[in-house]
């Protein structure tokens, strides 16, 4: 007997038929002799409809009330899922986040989990019940409902798996797993059988939008292995865990493309001590998250500083930097919106000097111009024209033989 | 400064604009220097949509999960109402039934209130906040959500008014108050300025569907005066309280018509001791609520027993009685669906012998045939053909001069 936490996203429970299909899958898992905890999201579309209604009433809704409102979406799904399981004669009980013992800090709309009191969930599992937990939400311990922000249901699943020392955590979604590249961009992208947390983090945060980084980080911290797989078929997905067997052999695990960044160029900045620090502090204060940073100093003591920011932060970044440059007394800002960031990701990359060379020559052969380069322990990223992104991804995917076997 | 509990039903908060309009009304009440607690229902249509979804998944949903599901409707409204008040710069905080301290027994879908811990609501009122409470729901004290059944939001309002020793409880609805008769049936029906709990109970339970009997009974028990009024205009409504000033002068307060009853005739029942008791015990066991009962014994020892039941219970009543008559060894059942029950209601009626006579002769003049008669302390009811209901109601309304002044 294993203890399994299964998480089903909004698309997987999008309508009556899909809820019934998930219930059948849960029944099958339980009939095989397992203890099952099911975490569900709001039906797809429900959360957005609630947000729309809120904004029509108040363009700046208070966070506490937003949590009170949005928690409704998951609560509907857990009740319907329990009913669907009862219809299959599976004993089941629904629990809101609060009822599942999930205690968070009081930071409404972006709460962090402090602890999980699993008493009631354990009681139900002992009685042989399937426990259905509302994802994305908890309570601040003072009876206020809190929510975790985007991707919060994955976090609920991973955190519950850790707290319940589950044998397996399955993240059911609308893709079959983690791929070597986005299959929409690279048709011969291949599904990975296994991937490490760090690789998953880079692949996920870079546009293979399978899971939010936060949940993967949580899983890494508590060493919770999990599987990403599709709720629409029976195909095994990708196992995400600490170490991946093939780690030594295969250096590059995947190619990620991110089209949601913009490039900010600060030119003719007279290089005074701390200029860069002040710019990035101002951006941090303004809540702009900066990704890649490159600086060159010319011989006349004038610096060119380039960095990327999420496209949604472009305006704020421009305003912040413009104001700061006025104080500094030099420099101009320019924004380039149509860029793409292409990254190759793989643990152990650092010790294989050939990776960068292979990447750059593949792009050169494809006549793709590299604007920026940045490297880390497990990834090399380049910024290119967004029009070249698809071509670049395919070329790089080929160059590293990613469509071969795992 | 007064403490006021205002309850707004599903139609009153049916869409964004109506929620904003209610918020404006609440603001006005608060700006006048009052402490305000607002109880809201689910937006009209939401509860039915949830029930529909539940039944599509499981035709016999478990009560606990039904409560988990339905509670969602009110929770949405309280959050939106808080946001609407914030938009008007009114400090406000939403509370689910559980968060408002409403503790019930564990009878899901028909829970009864055991106690209300008003600590948190009082705290908010002290801070000058408007408290918005989800109607219709509470918690069983073991973290399970419970609901009260139909009309439950009125109950929340009345119970909170009692627990908070509010100065006034206002039930905002889509009618302007309690009328001497249903204005759709009797065009010159008049709104009553005041009415006693008992009269309201008879008028409401008999088809002037303003409020469920349960909430009026609760208000009577705890002597909570309340006002029934429209949320769509500023017209004062009807005050419902223990004693009504005009009580001695005006005997008949209103005419009620109930078209939702069916008549069950049990004929040729050999009169054995306890026959009737066994029939009504069986009906009670089957959950059929019986209203009027009339029995005549013929001289050959054969009894005819007639009673009325809600139309929705007709089939169950027929099956139950048929099974019992088999055991008894005599009697036949016949169902008459198209009947109407017309009642005149008024405290003090018993001591005015003329009421019955006036009622019967008015009906006789209108050539309406009376099938059954039943009387109580404050009401006389007759069962007639349903086709004659409208004509009968108008005739009786006229006969008692109900369109005159209060």
In chain A, which residues have their Cβ closer than 8 Å to the Cβ of B75? 68-69, 71-72, 75
CB B75 to CB A64 under 8 A? Answer: no
Task: Output the pLDDT for position A42.
Answer: 97
pLDDT grade for A84, boundaries at 50, 70 and 90: very high
What is the per-residue pLDDT across A383-400, written as a single tens digit (0 to 9) for each? 999 999 999 999 999 999
pLDDT score of A206 = 54
- The CA-atom distances, in angstroms, between B74 and each of A5, A51, A128, B264 are 30, 16, 32, 39
Which residues, including other chains, have CB under 8 Å from residue A182's CB and lie 6 or more apart?
A: A189, A207, A208, A256, A257, A393
With cut-offs at 50, 70 and 90, classify the pLDDT of residue A205: low
Do B263 and B339 contact (CB within 8 A), yes or no? yes
Closest approach of A137 to chain B, Cα-based (Å): 14
Q: Shortest CA distance to A86 belongs to which of B69, B97, B8, B187?
A: B69
Residue B76 · residue B112 · CB < 8 Å: no
**Beta carbons of A259 and A208 less than 8 angstroms apart:** no
Q: Do B98 and A72 touch (CB under 8 A)?
A: no
Q: In Å, how far from its chain's centre is CA B65? A: 25
pLDDT exceeds cutoff 90 at B389: yes
**Given a cut of 80, is residue A102 above it in pLDDT?**
yes
- Higher pLDDT among residues B218 and B205, named by residue: B218
Per 3-state DSSP, chain B is made up of helix, strand and coil in percentages (nearest 5) of 40, 25, 35
Angle between helices A63-87 and B63-87 (to 10 degrees): 160
Q: What is the pLDDT of residues A153-167, one digit of tens each?
A: 999 999 999 999 999
Report CB contact under 8 Å: B84, A58: yes
**Banded model confidence at residue B349, pLDDT cuts 50, 70, 90:** confident
Which of A26, A13, A15, A24 is CA-nearest to residue A170? A26
* A222 against B248, higher pLDDT: A222
Q: Would you state the structure tokens that stand for residue A232, as one six-digit string?
A: 């629409």
A183 compared with B392, residue with greater pLDDT: B392
pLDDT category, A251, cuts 50, 70, 90? Answer: confident
Question: Which of B403, B400, B291 has its CA nearest to residue B352?
Answer: B400
To 10 degrees, what angle do helices A354-365 and A389-399 make? 130
Per-residue pLDDT tens for A112-168?
999 999 999 999 999 999 999 999 999 999 989 999 988 899 999 999 999 999 999
pLDDT at residue B21, rounded to an integer? 96
**A254 vs A396: CA distance, rounded Å:** 9
What are the angstrom distances between the C-alpha of B29 and each of A91, B162, B168, B224? 49, 19, 12, 20
Q: How much is the average pLDDT of A39-68? A: 96
Closest residue in B to A92 (Cα) is: B65
B89 lies within 8 A of chain A by CB: no
Percent of chain B with pLDDT over 70: 95
Residue in B23, B79, B92 to test binding to A, most A beta-carbons within 10 Å: B79
> What does the pLDDT read at residue A150?
83
CA distance A373 to A390: 18
Span B213-264, pLDDT tens digits:
889 999 999 999 999 999 889 999 999 998 766 555 667 889 999 888 999 9
Pair A33, A1: CB distance under 8 Å: yes
Chain A residues with CB under 8 Å of B138 CB are none
Domains, chain A, with CATH or none: 3-174 (3.40.1160.10)
Neighbours of A307 (CB within 10 A): 25
Among candidate residues B77, B57, B56, B75, the one with its CA nearest the CA of residue B67: B75
Say which range, A46-55, B24-33, B372-381, has the weakest mean pLDDT.
B372-381
Q: Across the interface, do B66 and A84 touch by the CB < 8 Å criterion? A: no
CB pairs under 8 A between A and B: 103
What is the residue-averaged pLDDT of chain A? Answer: 90
| Average pLDDT rounded to a whole number, residues A342-371 | 85
CA distance A75 to A81: 10
pLDDT value of residue A274: 79
Give the dihedral of Cα atoms A92, A98, A100, A103; nearest 10 deg: 170
Question: Please, which residues 117-136 of chain A have a Cβ atom closer than 8 Å to chain B?
Answer: 120
Q: Do B57 and A120 touch (CB under 8 A)?
A: no
Tens digits of per-residue pLDDT, B152-163?
999 999 999 999
User: Any idea what the Cα angle at residue A173 is, between residues B56 and A157, rounded to 5°?
Assistant: 90
The whole-angstrom separation of Cα A89 and Cα A86 is 5
What pLDDT, on a 0 to 100 scale, did the predictor assign at position B148?
95
Query: CB–CB of B68 and A56 under 8 A?
Result: no
CB atoms A57 and B19 under 8 Å: yes
Q: Which residues 15-44 in chain B show a CB within 8 A of chain A? A: 16, 19-20
Least confident of A375-379, B48-52, B319-323: A375-379
Q: In the prediction, which pLDDT does B205 show?
A: 56
Best mutation site among A18, A53, A65 for testing chain B: the one with the most B CBs within 10 Å?
A65
A22-36, A317-331, B348-362: segment of lowest average pLDDT: B348-362
Confidence of residue B273 (pLDDT cuts 50, 70, 90): confident
Cβ neighbours of B76 in A, within 8 Å: 50, 69, 72
Residue A207 scores a pLDDT above 60? no
In eight-state DSSP terms, residue B351 is G
Give B212 to chain A, closest Cα distance, Å. 27
Judged against a pLDDT cut of 60, whether residue B57 lies above it is answered with yes
Looking at the complex, does the CB of residue A297 fall below 8 Å from at least one CB of chain B? no
Give CA separation, B155 vs A314, B144, B226, in Å.
52, 19, 12
- Which pLDDT belongs to residue A209? 64
Residue A330: pLDDT band (50, 70, 90) is: confident
- The residues near A132 (Cβ < 8 Å, ≥ 6 apart) are A37, A38, A39, A40, A78, A81, A82, A85, A92, A93, A94, A95
Residue B141 has pLDDT above 70, yes or no: yes
What's the CA gap between B183 and A340, in Å, rounded?
Answer: 69
In Å, what is the CA distance from A41 to each residue of A44, A73, A134, B358? 8, 7, 7, 64
Distance from chain centroid for Cα B202? 9
Which residues of chain A are within 8 Å of residue B61 when distances are taken between CB atoms? Answer: 83, 86
DSSP B238: E
Q: Is A8 left (phi over 0), alpha (psi -120 to 50) or beta?
A: beta
Q: Is A63 in CB contact (< 8 Å) with chain B?
A: no
pLDDT in tens, B279-321: 888 998 888 888 888 877 766 778 788 999 989 899 999 999 9
Contact A65 B82 (CB under 8 A): yes
* Cα distance between residue A81 and residue A20, in whole Å: 8
Question: Which residues in chain B have their CB less than 8 angstroms from residue A83's CB?
Answer: 54, 57-58, 61-62, 65, 69
Name the residue facing A57 among B53, B84, B99 (closest C-beta).
B84
Mutation pick from B14, B80, B81 vs chain A, by most beta carbons of A within 10 Å, is: B80
- Residues of B within 8 A of A144 (CB-CB) are 99
pLDDT band at A289 (very low <50, low <70, confident <90, very high): confident
Sorting pLDDT into bands at 50, 70 and 90, what band is A357? confident
Contact A76 B76 (CB under 8 A): no
Q: How confident is the model at residue A250 (pLDDT cuts 50, 70, 90)?
A: low
How close B125 comes to chain A (CA, Å)?
17
| Share of residues in chain A with pLDDT > 90 (%) | 61
Kindly determine whether residue A69 and residue B57, on different chains, have CB atoms separated by under 8 Å: no
**Nearest Cβ partner of B80 from A53, A59, A93?**
A53
CB-CB neighbors (< 8 A) of A57 in chain B: 16, 19-20, 80, 83-84, 87
Q: Does any CB of chain A come closer than 8 Å to the CB of residue B56?
A: yes
Contact A80 B69 (CB under 8 A): yes
Can you give chain A as a three-state secondary structure string?
Answer: CCEEEEEECCCCCCCHHHHHHHHHHHHHHHHCCCEEEEEECCCCCHHHHHHHHHHHHCCCCCHHHHHHHHHHHHHHHHHHHHHHHHHCCCCEEEECCCCCCEEECCCCCCCCEEEECCHHHHHHHHCCCEEEEECCEEECCCCCEEECCCCHHHHHHHHHHHHCCCCEEEEEECCCCCECCCCCCCCCCCECCEEEHHHHHHHHHCCCCCCCHHHHHHHHHCCCCEEEEECCCCCCCEEEECCCHHHHCCCCCEEEEECCEEEEEEEEEECCCCHHHHHHHHHHHCCCCCCCEEEEECCCCEEEEEEEEEHHHHHHHHHHHHHHHHHHCCCEEEEECCEEEEEEECCCHHHCCHHHHHHHHHHHHCCCCCCEEEEECCEEEEEEEHHHHHHHHHHHHHHCCCCCCC
| Cβ distance of A72 and B75 shorter than 8 Å | yes
Interchain contact, B62 vs A86, CB within 8 Å: yes
- Cα-based distances in Å from B215 to B200, B221, B315: 11, 10, 29
The DSSP code sequence of B74-121 is HHHHHHHHHHHHHHTT--EEEE-TTTTTEEE-S-TTS--EEEE--HHH
B363 sits in which H/E element: helix B354-365
Look at residue B401 and give its three-state secondary structure.
Answer: coil
Q: Which of A266-280, B239-253, B376-390 has the highest mean pLDDT?
A: B376-390
Judge contact between A396 and A344, C-beta under 8 A: yes
Taking CB atoms and an 8 Å cutoff, what residues of chain A touch B64?
A: 93-94
Alpha carbons A43 and A20: distance in angstroms, whole number: 13
Judging contacts by C-beta atoms under 8 Å, the chain A residues touching residue B146 are none
Residue of B49, B69, B74, B242 whose CA lies nearest to B152 = B74
Chain A residues in contact with B50 (beta carbon < 8 A)? 76
Q: Give residue B44's pLDDT band: very low, low, confident or very high (50, 70, 90).
A: very high
First-to-last alpha carbon distance for chain B, in angstroms, is 30
Instruction: Give CA–CA dist B150/B159, Å, rounded.
Output: 15
The mean per-residue pLDDT over the stretch A212-232 comes to: 91
Identify the band that residue B49 occupies on the pLDDT scale cut at 50, 70 and 90. very high
In B181-246, which ranges are continuous DSSP H helix?
A: 197-205, 213-221
ipTM field: 0.80
Handedness of CA A398, A399, A400, A405 (dihedral sign): positive
Indicate yes or no: CB of A76 within 8 angstroms of CB of B61.
Answer: no
Chain A environment of B65 (Cβ under 8 Å): 79, 82-83, 86, 94
Question: Residue A271, Cβ neighbours under 10 Å: how many?
Answer: 15
Range A301-327 average pLDDT? 90
Residues of chain A with C-beta less than 8 angstroms from the C-beta of B71: 75
Asked if the model's pLDDT at residue A348 lies above 80, the reply is no
Q: How confident is the model at residue A272, as a pLDDT?
A: 76
Structure tokens at A176: 């079959």
């Amino acid at each position: 007997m294993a203890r399994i936490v299964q998480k089903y996203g909004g698309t997987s429970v999008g309508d009556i038929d899909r809820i019934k299909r998930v219930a059948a899958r849960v029944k099958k898992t339980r009939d095989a002799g397992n203890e099952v905890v099911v975490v569900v999201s709001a039906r797809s579309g429900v959360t957005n409809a609630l947000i729309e209604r809120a904004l029509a009433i108040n363009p700046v809704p208070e966070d506490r009330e937003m949590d009170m409102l949005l928690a409704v979406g998951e609560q509907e799904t857990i009740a319907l899922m329990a009913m669907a399981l009862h219809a299959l004669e599976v004993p089941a009980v629904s629990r809101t986040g609060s009822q599942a013992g999930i205690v968070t800090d009081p930071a409404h709309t972006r709460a962090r989990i402090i602890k999980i009191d699993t008493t009631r969930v354990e009681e139900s599992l002992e009685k042989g019940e399937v426990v259905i937990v509302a994802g994305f939400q908890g309570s601040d311990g003072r009876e206020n409902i809190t929510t975790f922000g985007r991707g919060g249901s994955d976090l609920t699943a991973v955190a519950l798996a850790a707290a319940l020392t589950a044998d397996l955590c399955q993240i059911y979604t609308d893709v079959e797993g983690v791929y070597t590249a986005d299959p929409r961009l690279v048709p011969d992208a291949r599904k990975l059988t296994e991937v490490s947390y760090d690789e998953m983090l880079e692949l996920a945060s870079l546009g293979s939008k399978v899971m939010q980084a936060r949940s993967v980080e949580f899983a890494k911290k508590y060493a919770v292995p999990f599987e990403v797989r599709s709720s629409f078929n029976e195909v095994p997905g990708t196992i995400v865990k600490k170490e991946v067997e093939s780690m030594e052999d295969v250096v590059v695990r995947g190619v990620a493309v991110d089209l949601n960044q913009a490039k900010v160029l600060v030119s003719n900045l007279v290089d005074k001590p701390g200029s860069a620090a002040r710019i990035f502090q101002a951006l941090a204060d303004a809540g702009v998250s900066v990704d890649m940073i490159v600086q060159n100093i010319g011989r006349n003591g004038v610096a060119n500083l380039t960095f990327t920011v999420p496209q949604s932060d472009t305006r704020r970044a421009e305003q912040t930097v413009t104001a700061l440059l006025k104080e500094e007394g030099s420099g101009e800002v320019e924004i380039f919106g149509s860029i793409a960031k292409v990254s190759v990701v793989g643990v152990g990359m650092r010790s294989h000097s050939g990776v960068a060379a292979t990447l750059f020559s593949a792009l050169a052969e494809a006549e793709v111009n590299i604007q920026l380069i940045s490297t880390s322990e497990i990834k090399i990223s380049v910024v290119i024209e967004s029009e070249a992104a698809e071509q670049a991804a395919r070329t790089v995917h080929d160059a590293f033989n990613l469509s071969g076997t795992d």
